[in-house]
Structure 1
Amino acid sequence: MTTDTENAHAVQPAIISYVKDLPNLCSLAGLACTVLALYFSIIGIYYAAMIGMIWAVAFDWADGLVARKMKGRTGNDRMFGGQLDLVIDIVSYGVTPAILILSYGHFDPLLLPIAFFMLAASAIRLSYFSTFGLSDTSKYTGLALDNNSILLVFIFLLEGIIPNTIFAGILYASALGLAALNVSQIKTPKLSGNPLHVVLLALYTLGITAIYAYKLL
């Protein structure tokens, strides 16, 4: 005679089975872009890192769009996808910008507090969202983390145009400001749920990719 616990374990799907879920594949594609962004940040090829960062956002938005369009997904599918998305978000929008800041500052220990503040804000922001969700049907409390990458890749366009010391100050101040907004009580719209915003992000992603690819030549 089997117990309830044994029956529960018997019906658990294999861990790897969730990889075949299309929204999760989009999430993992975004994680691959994040790995590239981390790699290029560490070795100092920042224009390539910017391309990885913005494509990570694009795939992050795509997984939610695909998930909403798909039929037949179970509650477990949605729960697993949501947890996977949160874990990847902390890497894409917390670890990656922090490494970018440290690398651009030649890993000066004085930048460690900024990196910590960025990571702490990201972790707190995601934990808060995981607990309370949206403040209503369409707004977040605090600036959503994907906006950090969207804005940082835009700000980085100034690199090479203005003096390096001034740009570095702008970059560090922007990173701190975004982290503060992440844990603030401001209400911001859920941009990724709007089809028009998805189209605009796609155009922005292609434009940013073209600009930084040109800069790499």
Structure 2
Amino acid sequence: MLRYLIDPANAITTSGLLFSAISLFMAVSDRLEIAMAAALWAVLADHLDGIVASRTRNRRPDFAKIGKSLDGFGDIIYGAVLPAVVIIQLSDKSVLSFSTATALLLAGAIRLSYFANFGRSEDGRFLGVPLSYDVPLLALAFLVKPLLPPELFQTMTNIGFLLLAGAHVASIRVPPPNGAMYAAISIFAISASSFLLMRGLSA
């Protein structure tokens, strides 16, 4: 099984899973800024593996098949499980955070199941908001966290991600990211992860 990881794109996907594992460990250890910093690198890996896969010449079909499944598992972990755990920890395991986490997990599973079977719509757009939006939006929330009272921040984050869970499975069409958007997300992920890591280490 491990031989499939010698494929460059699959190796990048696996590195994203490792960053997700680091993020989960930091989240349950209540080091949420560091958790978000690691999660942003999982986002970067998710963007990069597709680019590498599309540019790998004569890629073996079995490598591509494993890569597709591996990428799906990576998406559910960093796109739904990670935000759910961070929000539960952030909200001191409140009933509201349980509702938010449950909604994220259900929406993530339903969305990825739909995408795995039907893919994008005929016009190339995604049906519903992709899970890849969750971590950057949560990281953005953490960047402004010091500006808000803790209880207000918790409530706003929970409500925002409850709405986002609904958007994941809503019948709205979202265009795929273009080159400029990929570049913007990458720049944001690198700069925000550095800032959150420094804040987390100094706490």
- Quickly name the TM-score band, shorter chain normalised: over 0.9
Partner of 1:200: 184
Q: How far is the alpha carbon of 1:196 from its aligned partner?
A: 2.2
Aligned-pair Cα RMSD in Å: 1.3
In the TM superposition, residue 205 of structure 1 has moved relative to its aligned partner by: 1.3
CA distance in 2, matches of 1:88, 1:139: 21
Deviations 1:42-99 (A, max 9, x none): 1111110111111111000100000011001122221111111001111111111111
Runs of 5+ consecutive residues of structure 1 not aligned to the other structure: 1-14
Task: Using the TM superposition, give the Cα deviation of residue 132 of structure 1 relative to its aligned residue in structure 2, in angstroms.
Answer: 0.6
Within the alignment, does 1:145 sit opposite 2:145 as a pair?
no
For the 8 Å contact 2:22–2:35, the answer to whether it is kept is yes
Equivalent position amino acid for 1:196 in 2? A
Structure 1 counterpart of 2:36, which letter?
M
Q: Provide Cα deviations, 1:148-179, integer angstroms capped at 9, x if missing partner.
A: 11111111212121100100011101111111
Q: How does 1:68-217 map to 2 (within 5 A)?
A: 68-136=54-122, 138-191=124-177, 194-216=178-200, 217=202
TM-score with structure 1 length normalisation? 0.88
CA-to-partner distance for each residue in 1:20-62, whole Å, 9 max, x for gaps?
Answer: 1110111111111111111111111111011111111100010
Q: Which runs of 5+ in 2 are unaligned?
A: none
Higher relative CO (Cα under 8 Å, sequence separation at least 6) belongs to 2
Deviations 1:85-129 (A, max 9, x none): 001111111111111111112223553222111100000000000
Larger Rg: 1
- Distance between the aligned counterparts of 2:199 and 2:88, measured in 1? 22
Give the number of aligned pairs: 201
Distance in 2 separating the partners of 1:137 and 1:176: 28
Quote how far apart the aligned CAs of 1:210 are.
2.5
Distance 1:202 1:168 in 2: 27
Quote the sequence identity (%): 27
Q: Is the 8 A contact 1:156 1:171 kept in 2?
A: no
1:38 to 24, 39, 42: 24
TM-score, normalised to structure 2, is 0.94
